[in-house]
Structure 1
Amino acid sequence: MAEVAGMEEEHLDDMNNGAEAKSDTENPCSSDSDSFDDDAEDLQLETLEKELAENPSSYDTHVQYIRTLRKLGLIDKLREARESMNVLFPMSPAMWQEWVKDEASLITGPEAFPVIEKLYERGVHEYLSVSLWCDYVNFVQEHDPSVRECSSDGIKKMRDLFERALTAGGLHIVEGNKIWEAYREFEQAIFHTIDDNNNEEKEKQIQCIRSIFHRQLSVPLVDLRSTLLAYKAWEVVHGNLCESNSSDLDGIPNHVASAYQKAMEMYNARIPYEQQISKQGEDDNEKLQHFMTYLKFEQSCGDPARIQLLYERAVAEFPISSDLWIKYTQYLDHILKIPNVAKCVYSRATRNCTWIGELWVRYLLSLERAHASEEELSAVFEQSLQCSFSSIEEYLDLFLTRVDGLRRRISPTNALEDGLDCTMIRDTFQRAKEYLSLHLMSNDNLLHLHAYWAHLELNLAKDPVAARGVWESFLKTSGSMLEAWQSYIRMEIEAGHIKDARSLYKRCYSKRFSGTGSEDICHSWLRFEREFGSLEDFDLAVRKVTPRLEELRLFRAQQESKSVSITTVKEIPAKVVSQKRKSGTRLTDEQSQPKLQKYAAYHSKGVLAEDTTRKSAEDVKFIDDKTNKPKSTDEQRINGSTSKNTKYRDQCTVFVSNISFEAKEEHLREFFSDVGGVTAIRILRNKFNGKSRGLAYIDFSDETHLVAAVSKNKKQLLGKKLSIVRSDPKRSQKHEFSRSNTITDHGKRTSAGEDAPDENRDLEGFVEASKESVAPHVSSRGKSTSTMVPRAVVRPLGWGKNEPRTEGDEKPKSNDEFRKMFLKTE
């Protein structure tokens, strides 16, 4: 927080009643200059007022505004500006002293004293300042009639004020002796007002002054030896000590001498730390570190009063250090444990560091420990929600802390406070849901919130219908979350609602959950019926679950078989491969006549020539004719000239389909902006016209971002629901291995890594993953997945490649026979 430095010290009346300007005849330019200055100041004032209206939380703007008003002498606006600032921020001791000084010059008479006294009271509560305390006690001594008259009430009031000042700053090693000396002087003044014949009162007052001396000599302060010498001189004056030139401690009572020596040892031990924190020229970080080192030393000594005083000195120097306030409040909560003191410190901490959610949470707990009223707790909670925190989890923690406090006070074991009921808890949960649902990225936090809510509805409010309503509302947005169903079912079982739990199993057993969640919920239902159901209930569960488990088993087996086949191909021994390559000539000689004809036909169409040309041109860079620079990837795709040699490993990639043809790369990047981690986007385009095909690959930096991206499946982009699945590189490898012998629907032979698009394997994976019942070799539309091969070549399910054909099988036709068939139809 910026300190108000360099502000004018003159009174407002001095500025208002300053020297009059010379007349226009004496100095013709004076009037024009003053007018120009006034216009500039008015413009500056308007600018500051506009800035405060737009951003009232700007501390520096408040300071500049107060300084300008004070310079212009606008008294009423100045008071309002100071009050407005103090509502939002604590004010520095210098600003309080300036405020008091201005008011003292404006208000006269008896009504001035209570106004200024109230300002002093407000000032000493915000930051530790020995000089402000000294000003306060001097003002009361001078202007309070009861104190000036030395009435019993006035003396009592003044002594109480001095004791408060000693508690606040009497242990301050550097400045604390100012308060002690002012206290002694006050008591000495009272002594002189006592009648000389009243020996009893005089002796009583002497004992009071002596007690102050003894207390001061036991505290480590600067110039403590001077205090000791002053004490000895005072005792000599009152005849209790003979004047001598011996050592300082001669004639001093033993307990006083012992306390003085201990205080000097403490003082000498702290001198190096005091020198470090008072060193000039160091930056704030170094100075704060010196304070933390000093605090560790004081904590090792174990004096709570000295530790608290040093914390107060530190926060006065660094009022917006959140770490310092957190450490201070932790000390108060765990060590000092004085609720009223902690409550005051938390109030100041949250006003200095409004953006720290942890401080607000601990503030609510501190108020609860101090048995604060519901009105005060509610006010602090509402105030905290107006602050800006760095994460949404801080808001969630605030809501949960508020609910915790309400639950503890509404609990049957505690006496119910007036006006408290379960409706307040329900309203708080509802506000949390509405406020957080738009921001929380993790469903785990929302799950915890709803589980806690349902638990209180069922157990505290005794309303099972409301508890179910909480879960049903959550399932509308998170029905694919296994933990939500499990928590809902667990609640019904714990409440003894077996039928309701069974109904939930019937609703969710067929749903698709991530990982092994689908199998887990099926097995959970069977265990549930074993423990709670009848034989008929168990049989029903078996009939429902068995087909579902079989579907899931077939799907897992299919996925595993694909993975195993890829692994097997990779693990072929080098020797075997070599042998197969050597025997390639013999195999070629034994090829059937139809295959030779097919080879000749493709050769005649120039396919092989095309492949040869393509392979020879794969390594050629694409150059822009105009700029003579390599073309971008998008330009190559549009021109149909993307290198066929490009390989994508797709280790952390999603495949997105059903994309609007109008969607561009920036649309996809913005769609996944809340997920983050996008490293590359590849939109698949038609190689002839460059238009989007509605398909894309999106690479992510790590597994966490990829999983979050897949969770956005079925979300809309430009009016179309996207289908998002994880790209399977293993499937791609298998296709590359098998595509070398595949005939495409265009009648051209392709080789691995060339014309066959990689998205086919992701489309297959997406279709297979979206089937309700898994059927090998059958697409989601019920058509054969082998339509690219003549039916006579397709083997039925379960046919081994070495098994002979049955007699009824049709003999495969050669390419010449197929060509003749087509010529006849034409």
Structure 2
Amino acid sequence: MAAPSSSAEQTQLQDMEEEDAGMEEKEMESDGDEEGDEEEGNEGEEGMGVENSDDDEEEEDSSEDEKENEAEIQRLEEQLSINAFDYNCHVDLIKLLKQEGELLRLRKARQKMSELFPLTEEIWLDWLKDEIRLTEEEPNREKVYELFERAVKDYICPDIWLEYAQYSIGGMGSPGGIDRVRSIFERAVTAVGLHMTKGQTVWEAYREFENAILSTVQPPPGKIPSREEQELLNAQIGRIHTLFRRQLAVPLMDMEATYAEYEEWSDQGVPETVVHQYKKALQQMEKCKSFEETLLVAEPPKLAEYQSYIDFELKEGDPARVQSIFERTLAENCLVPDMWAKYINYLNRQLKIKDLVLSTHERAVRNCPWTMGLWKSYILALERHGADHQTVSDVFEKALNAGFIQATDYVEIWQAYLDYLRRRVDFTKESSKELEELRAAFARSLDYMKQDVEERFGESGDPSCIIMQIWARIEALHCKNMQKARELWDIIMTKGNAKYANMWLEYYNLERSYGDPVHCRKALHRAVQCTSDYPEHVCEVLLTFERVEGSLEDWDLAVQKTETRLNRINEQRAKAGARFGTVAEKEASLARHEEEKADQRRKAKSEKKAQKKAQKGSRAGEKRKAEQDDYHDEWNEDSGKYSTEEMGTTPQRSTYMETETGVFGRNAPPGYKPALPDAKKAQQGMAAAAPRQNDDKPELRNDNSSVFISNLAYTLEEPEAKLRTLFESCGPIKQIRPVFSNKGSFKGYGYVQFESPMSVPEALKLDRREVEGRPMFVSPCVDKNKNPDFKVFKYNTSMEKQKIFISGLPFSCTKEQLEEICKSHGTIKDVRLVTYRSGKPKGLAYVEFADEAQASQAVLKMDGMDVQGNNISVAISNPPRRNTMDKPGSSRPSSDMMPRQVYGSRGKGRTQLSLLPRSLHRQSGTAGKAENGTALGQSPATSGAAAAAGESKPLSNSDFARMLLSK
């Protein structure tokens, strides 16, 4: 130790000599300044008055600024006394106090802020430098050391560690000073030595320090060192060798220069092992170089770039490097709770080092105190690593004061703490301190929820009383105290939970497991009286319980209570349904009125078009409008087929199709327009007509490999690309032709031609697929002039005994929800919701089961069921035939009108039982249009008139008597 101290004395002497030389130069300069002052004395006296006035003004301005700053300082201090957690207010106060030079007040302000928040690297460095200047004397160095220790715990910052190490070098002359410096440097290279861009400065500072020590232990030239001196010299040289080797094994930027320096410094050359480690580190550095360059040019907060870097290091699997990149990320993104959570999860699962894990948890909650998940993880980590009970309790109390943003956060943090307390209790003992503490904590949590949380948020945060349920179960299971459990459940039910069946069943299950049949029966009877959401289920549980446990009297009482309750419930539902039905009828009436208006407009439009066509009948070969040439099939909800009425298919068009067949011949699909030769265009006066938008597209050539697409939205953007995306999975596509108007707007339909006809069946499977809120219709290309009765969308007109028809569904009911309701009654093969062309639901659906028995069971169980406030009607699917005689343009003969099928043994009404005499079935000649699952009969006397009128007349009592007596 003598050598270092003598070296220190030499350096002090050199500093004193340099200071003396500097003082002499200053004196000479001051003498020269005095001579210059004497020469300019007269000029100075002449301008004295002006200069004095300027000084006075500057003093007045500075005094005003000082007053304003002092007033602002006082305002900020008052604001912090009201809200100590105002981060920006702390920063502004520190800036003003530093500007004013109020060092003592500045120190207090920084101290208060550091107690509440982690300080940034800039604030810490300013504070440390100010404290270093204030504490020049030796006894005060320990305070600065303590401040440095606090600084390095907030964030892992290379600059702070470097400042710490350099400051410690100033105290190496004290006893143990060199060892202290080395200890700080070792901690620094452990903490930030892996920092790719800044770690190198810490390593170099460490080596410079050891080189300075080496210069003090080297003997003077010409002097032979003693054995002890030589050992000291060799040990110091070994330290520097070791530092070079350790640094070269770490991937750092510009590590090539370090390797060249080591080659130059080492007399014996670079060992092979060091070369191997250096090359390996160099390869690793090349892998990370792209990430570092990306971070260098990225804009803050660089979260995406850091996350990519973290993912890379996690795959590499080096824990030290993973920790380093996490720390770098959090230094710049300290207010991102998700990043802290990821770092904590990694430490908990991979490293599991107590000091590292707990310190990181502490930093996480200091940076993001509003995040409940971090506090919860902190409590679990403390318990996992065996922290004492007082520490866990203190952390929990801090969590309660952290200011969570929602009421449920307080419920979760209380649950985490209560779980911890429960795990401390030895339930083999009848009574213990831990058990009493657990009960007191449960009681306190309920008071806290009621007083603090409800007042702050206006809600309890625990409407289902989860905490109380856990307490009751602990009392019943571990403490065998059913009386306390029942008291807790009484409180739970008084908090608005008595109307829920699941709450009563939870209480019943508790009594069933740890109580007795008497209290089970009591709980179920109360449940039957109070439950309003699923009373049938509660009644079923009560009856099942009495079958197993009860006597005949108990069974009779249970049946009486359940029947009374269910009757009352059904009456209430009926009243509610009647109110809803009234509203629904009004809405249906308005809808029918709107549909009638729309029909009138369509008819008027059709008549207008027909008149125009009649006027132009003599000009069959003349120019036509583009929209009249495009043949458009429109789906008709009443007829169940495509109607061509509106688009005007006329004999002139048929003649045109026969004379100008085009590539399709006479089997051209709707909307297809063959190209005319130029001579023909000239004859018809169309040579000067503007070309249509689709004329530049190749024509569809094979209707066997094409499909017709309709009911698409007119506002569909890039329809060709959209159709290609929809149908490319069906097979290779030859071409797609969406149809546009002469103005360039999409008309909502088009054609898709495939390479092979084998793709058409796959394309037809996409029929009714929803495209931007509308069901898309897909049909084969068929010439309806040759096949007028062709219908794409056919439906079964016979009874489908394995399929049920549901009406009265709420419009918000989805296919998945309906499938969930029906699956308990059998195996479901298909579910179809009936919609309008626009995609709006009609409140109707078909559900197909695996067999007839399952469908019948579903009808019995589901008919009249309440679904989202609607009472649905369910029957076996029995669709009526469509009456097309009155449809304009229909070519179906009257002989095709078959009467609706006669009901069999399961074809009538909700129960699917036929109670009508056979004679009435035989006498019924026709069946008029009726609702699904119901038919209107007709007597022979009235059948002719009814058929002529298209309506069915109900039978009178005399008609029934006459038919029965005739048998």
Tell me the TM-score range normalised by the shorter chain: 0.5 to 0.7
Q: Where do 1:14-33 residues align within 5 Å? A: 27-33=55-61
Query: What runs of 5+ residues in structure 1 fail to find an aligned partner?
Result: 1-21, 242-250, 575-648, 654-725, 732-800, 805-826
Aligned CA distance change for structure 1 residues 465 and 261 (closer, same or farther; 3 Å): same
The answer on 1:167 being equivalent to 2:190 is yes
Using the alignment, how far apart are the partners of 1:289 and 1:727 within structure 2? 44
- Indicate the residue corresponding to 1:491 in structure 2: 510
Using the alignment, how far apart are the partners of 2:545 and 2:444 within structure 1? 34
Query: What runs of 5+ residues in structure 2 fail to find an aligned partner?
Result: 1-49, 220-224, 593-807, 813-866, 873-954, 959-967
CA contact (8 A) 1:364 1:377 kept: yes
Aligned with residue 524 of structure 2, among 485, 493, 505: 505
- Indicate the residue corresponding to 2:834 in structure 1: none
Aligned CA distance change for structure 1 residues 307 and 539 (closer, same or farther; 3 Å): same
Using the alignment, how far apart are the partners of 1:443 and 1:547 within structure 2? 36
- Indicate the residue corresponding to 2:341 in structure 1: 326
Shift of 1:82: 0.8
Using the alignment, how far apart are the partners of 1:37 and 1:563 within structure 2? 74
- Indicate the residue corresponding to 1:294 in structure 2: 309
CA contact (8 A) 2:424 2:434 kept: no
Using the alignment, how far apart are the partners of 2:208 and 2:265 within structure 1? 12
- Indicate the residue corresponding to 2:287 in structure 1: 269
Using the alignment, how far apart are the partners of 2:303 and 2:361 within structure 1? 20
Q: Secondary structure at the match of 1:125?
A: helix
Aligned CA distance change for structure 1 residues 156 and 255 (closer, same or farther; 3 Å): same
- Indicate the residue corresponding to 2:85 in structure 1: 57
The answer on 1:520 being equivalent to 2:537 is yes
Shift of 1:26: 7.8
The answer on 1:372 being equivalent to 2:354 is no
Using the alignment, how far apart are the partners of 1:334 and 1:270 within structure 2? 25
Using the alignment, how far apart are the partners of 1:548 and 1:160 within structure 2? 80
- Aligned partner letter, 1:525: L
Aligned with residue 148 of structure 1, among 173, 176, 198: 173
CA contact (8 A) 2:372 2:409 kept: yes
Aligned CA distance change for structure 1 residues 252 and 537 (closer, same or farther; 3 Å): same
Cα offsets for 1:770-811 (capped at 9, x unmatched)? xxxxxxxxxxxxxxxxxxxxxxxxxxxxxxx9899xxxxxxx
- Aligned partner letter, 2:506: S
- Indicate the residue corresponding to 1:458 in structure 2: 476
- Indicate the residue corresponding to 1:346 in structure 2: 361
Aligned with residue 184 of structure 1, among 194, 204, 207: 207
Q: Secondary structure at the match of 1:284?
A: coil
Using the alignment, how far apart are the partners of 1:566 and 1:92 within structure 2? 64
CA contact (8 A) 2:249 2:274 kept: yes
CA RMSD of superposed structures (Å): 3.9
Cα offsets for 1:645-695 (capped at 9, x unmatched)? xxxx99899xxxxxxxxxxxxxxxxxxxxxxxxxxxxxxxxxxxxxxxxxx
CA contact (8 A) 1:355 1:388 kept: yes
Aligned CA distance change for structure 1 residues 563 and 217 (closer, same or farther; 3 Å): closer
Shift of 1:85: 0.7
- Indicate the residue corresponding to 1:100 in structure 2: 128
- Indicate the residue corresponding to 2:257 in structure 1: 226
Cα offsets for 1:380-401 (capped at 9, x unmatched)? 2222222333332222211111
Aligned CA distance change for structure 1 residues 27 and 178 (closer, same or farther; 3 Å): closer
CA contact (8 A) 2:536 2:566 kept: yes
The answer on 1:408 being equivalent to 2:384 is no
- Indicate the residue corresponding to 2:922 in structure 1: none
Normalising by structure 1, report the TM-score. 0.60
Shift of 1:133: 0.7
Using the alignment, how far apart are the partners of 1:413 and 1:497 within structure 2? 23
Cα offsets for 1:489-514 (capped at 9, x unmatched)? 21111103221222222333222412
- Indicate the residue corresponding to 2:17 in structure 1: none
Aligned CA distance change for structure 1 residues 420 and 376 (closer, same or farther; 3 Å): farther
- Indicate the residue corresponding to 1:46 in structure 2: 74
CA contact (8 A) 2:453 2:460 kept: no
Using the alignment, how far apart are the partners of 1:355 and 1:294 within structure 2? 27
Aligned CA distance change for structure 1 residues 23 and 74 (closer, same or farther; 3 Å): farther
Using the alignment, how far apart are the partners of 2:294 and 2:75 within structure 1? 42
Using the alignment, how far apart are the partners of 2:88 and 2:337 within structure 1? 19
Cα offsets for 1:297-331 (capped at 9, x unmatched)? 11121111111111111111122122322222222
Moved more, 213-222 or 357-366: 357-366
- Indicate the residue corresponding to 2:610 in structure 1: none
Aligned CA distance change for structure 1 residues 354 and 566 (closer, same or farther; 3 Å): closer
Aligned with residue 500 of structure 2, among 462, 465, 481: 481
Aligned CA distance change for structure 1 residues 537 and 212 (closer, same or farther; 3 Å): same
Which structure has more relative contact order (CA 8 Å, sep 6+)? It is 1
CA contact (8 A) 2:408 2:461 kept: no
The share of aligned pairs that are identical, in percent, is 30
- Indicate the residue corresponding to 1:215 in structure 2: 246
Cα offsets for 1:535-564 (capped at 9, x unmatched)? 443343234334334444566678789999
Q: Secondary structure at the match of 1:390?
A: coil
Aligned with residue 166 of structure 2, among 138, 155, 168: 138
- Indicate the residue corresponding to 1:426 in structure 2: 442
Aligned with residue 413 of structure 2, among 394, 398, 401: 398
Q: Secondary structure at the match of 2:464?
A: helix
Shift of 1:29: 2.2
Moved more, 454-463 or 522-531: 454-463
CA contact (8 A) 1:295 1:310 kept: yes
CA contact (8 A) 1:124 1:133 kept: yes
Using the alignment, how far apart are the partners of 1:727 and 1:401 within structure 2? 37
Aligned CA distance change for structure 1 residues 418 and 185 (closer, same or farther; 3 Å): farther
Q: Secondary structure at the match of 1:158?
A: helix
Aligned CA distance change for structure 1 residues 44 and 553 (closer, same or farther; 3 Å): closer
Shift of 1:455: 1.0
Using the alignment, how far apart are the partners of 2:240 and 2:436 within structure 1? 54
- Indicate the residue corresponding to 1:708 in structure 2: none
Using the alignment, how far apart are the partners of 1:48 and 1:650 within structure 2? 63
- Aligned partner letter, 2:445: F
Shift of 1:342: 1.9
Q: Secondary structure at the match of 1:363?
A: helix
Q: Secondary structure at the match of 2:530?
A: coil
Normalising by structure 2, report the TM-score. 0.52
Aligned CA distance change for structure 1 residues 445 and 299 (closer, same or farther; 3 Å): farther
- Indicate the residue corresponding to 1:82 in structure 2: 110
Cα offsets for 1:399-456 (capped at 9, x unmatched)? 1111111112225499989797333442343245424566586997524332212112
Aligned CA distance change for structure 1 residues 397 and 134 (closer, same or farther; 3 Å): same
Shift of 1:470: 1.3
Aligned CA distance change for structure 1 residues 155 and 554 (closer, same or farther; 3 Å): same
CA contact (8 A) 1:320 1:353 kept: yes
- Indicate the residue corresponding to 1:110 in structure 2: 138
Aligned with residue 317 of structure 1, among 303, 317, 332: 332
- Indicate the residue corresponding to 2:156 in structure 1: 128
Aligned CA distance change for structure 1 residues 32 and 102 (closer, same or farther; 3 Å): same
Using the alignment, how far apart are the partners of 1:521 and 1:432 within structure 2? 33
Using the alignment, how far apart are the partners of 2:199 and 2:309 within structure 1? 18
Aligned CA distance change for structure 1 residues 212 and 518 (closer, same or farther; 3 Å): same
Aligned with residue 181 of structure 2, among 140, 155, 158: 158
The answer on 1:542 being equivalent to 2:559 is yes
Larger radius of gyration: 2
Using the alignment, how far apart are the partners of 2:338 and 2:438 within structure 1? 36
Aligned CA distance change for structure 1 residues 139 and 444 (closer, same or farther; 3 Å): closer
Q: Secondary structure at the match of 2:154?
A: coil
Using the alignment, how far apart are the partners of 1:312 and 1:347 within structure 2? 14
Shift of 1:118: 0.4
Using the alignment, how far apart are the partners of 1:330 and 1:23 within structure 2? 69
Using the alignment, how far apart are the partners of 1:559 and 1:312 within structure 2? 62
Q: Number of aligned pairs?
A: 546
CA contact (8 A) 1:399 1:428 kept: no
Using the alignment, how far apart are the partners of 1:562 and 1:52 within structure 2? 60
